[in-house]
Amino acid sequence: MSNLDTLTQKIREKAKSLLEGGQADVVIGYRTGTVPLMAAPFFARTPQDCDQLVWSSFARLNLANYLPGRTEKVALVAKGCDARNAVGQVAENQYPKDKLFILGVPCSGQVDAAKVAAKEPRPIQTSEETDDSIKLTGPGYSTDLKKEDVLRRNCLTCAHRTPTLANELVGPEVPSLPTDDFSDLTALLAKSSEERLTYFKDLIKDCLRCYACRNACPLCYCPVCFVDETRPQWLGKSTDPMDTMTFHLLRGLHCAGRCTACGACETACPVNIKVREFNRVLDKTVKENWSYEPGLAWDQKPPLTVYQPNDPADFIK
């Protein structure tokens, strides 16, 4: 039995026992998608439902996104990033800790559908995975890809692949990756501020303002987002580049020090914008200034939301 099958089996068993034992009203996990390369969010409420739960490398959305506002007791099937965001939801008072059961899945990384499409541009009919490869079939062809060649870029620098604060892990820990040195940002950060502005303008030139990035993000739980404010309206509704940039910059700053690099925003983006680039720069800033990583403690507040009298910065005194 492959490791994936074992994890699927364990998730189903544990999900059933949590529902039957009354520890959870709903298990939020993944089911097999109706299209290739897709594991879809799935809400299991009965033991029979649990047989649809699966583990795969196509589980790209962050399920902690479904916690805020929920009144039921939730068992959350969680990768390392999802688990950290669930902890963040508790720390930011979006979901009560006593109703949450984190069913942690040690994660070896999730597959980037765009990278797959770059390697196999033909229409894909089916995708089957083993622990380290993906078999794609389409009209008149079959292709094998190595998973490690098509992982999402955020998964390649993941700091906590094994969930850190899970109630239970469904499998053995996976080896840690080398510490993220943010070397991919070297070229960007060497640019002048004008050049960086040009870079970011170009990055978002195809943005449709569909807000899939925001809506897939577990940090974006505001009841009304600033872009949706109408009385008064804060932001234009057109594809005006300045309005679009304002959205991305403000969202980036709202998420500074809270982002776990889960990559759900980039997964959801229909035009393949590397949305995380905004946050990646901010992640580095926060880590360097406050030695802070989000989602590693239940009572840890994001550094940009707290004030301490001994703050070393001058501006606030």
Query: Nearest distance from residue 212's CB to another protein, in Å?
Result: 4
Nearest to 292 by CA among 146, 88, 83: 88
Q: Does 142 contact another protein by CB under 8 A? A: no
Q: Does 35 contact another protein by CB under 8 A? A: yes
Q: Does 237 contact another protein by CB under 8 A? A: yes
Q: What is the dihedral of CA 108, 188, 260, 95, to 10 degrees?
A: -150
Distance CA 143, CA 116 (A): 11
Query: Nearest distance from residue 317's CB to another protein, in Å?
Result: 38
Nearest to 104 by CA among 295, 258, 256: 295
Cβ-based burial of 142 (10 A; exposed 0-12, middle 13-18, buried ≥19): exposed
Among 2, 46, 125, 289, contact with another protein (rule: CB under 8 A)? 125
Token couple for 7: 């994890």
Token couple for 38: 């897709």
Q: Does 230 contact another protein by CB under 8 A? A: yes
Query: Nearest distance from residue 303's CB to another protein, in Å?
Result: 28
Among 22, 34, 71, 312, contact with another protein (rule: CB under 8 A)? 34
Q: Does 42 contact another protein by CB under 8 A? A: yes
User: Largest Cα–Cα distance in the chain?
Assistant: 69
Q: Does 273 contact another protein by CB under 8 A? A: no
Q: Does 232 contact another protein by CB under 8 A? A: no
Q: Does 272 contact another protein by CB under 8 A? A: yes
Strands 39-44 and 26-32: antiparallel
Residues that bind another protein (CB under 8 A): 33-36, 38, 40-43, 61, 65-66, 114, 117, 121, 123-125, 138-139, 208, 210-212, 214-216, 228, 230, 236-240, 264, 267-268, 270-272
